[in-house]
Amino acid sequence: MDNKPEVTRSVIVGVDIPFWELVKLIIKYSFAAIPATLIIGVIFVGPFLLLGVLFPELK
């Protein structure tokens, strides 16, 4: 006997989200993106600033 569970496939055809709930969600994500952008900027810019301080002749 085959002991594998049977796979049930499903398809989502629509999501019913009220308009103002969607607006609130988008605003929350927008505010969350600000600190995330600053953190990513520090991660990428920080090493280059450090290299500029350590090797000023490379300018």
pLDDT bin (cut points 50, 70, 90) of residue 53 is very high
Any domain includes 42? yes
pLDDT of residue 57: 87
Any domain includes 3? no
Q: Which residue range is the domain that position 25 belongs to?
A: 19-54
Any domain includes 43? yes
2: pLDDT strictly greater than 70: no
pLDDT tens, position by position, 6-46: 888 899 999 899 999 999 999 999 999 999 999 999 999 99
Q: Name the region of 58 (left: φ>0; alpha: ψ -120 to 50; beta: rest).
A: alpha
Number of domains in the chain: 1
Any domain includes 2? no
Any domain includes 24? yes
Residues 52 and 58 sit within 8 Å (Cβ to Cβ): yes
pLDDT of residue 3: 74
Any domain includes 50? yes
Quick check: pTM over 0.75?
no
Any domain includes 33? yes
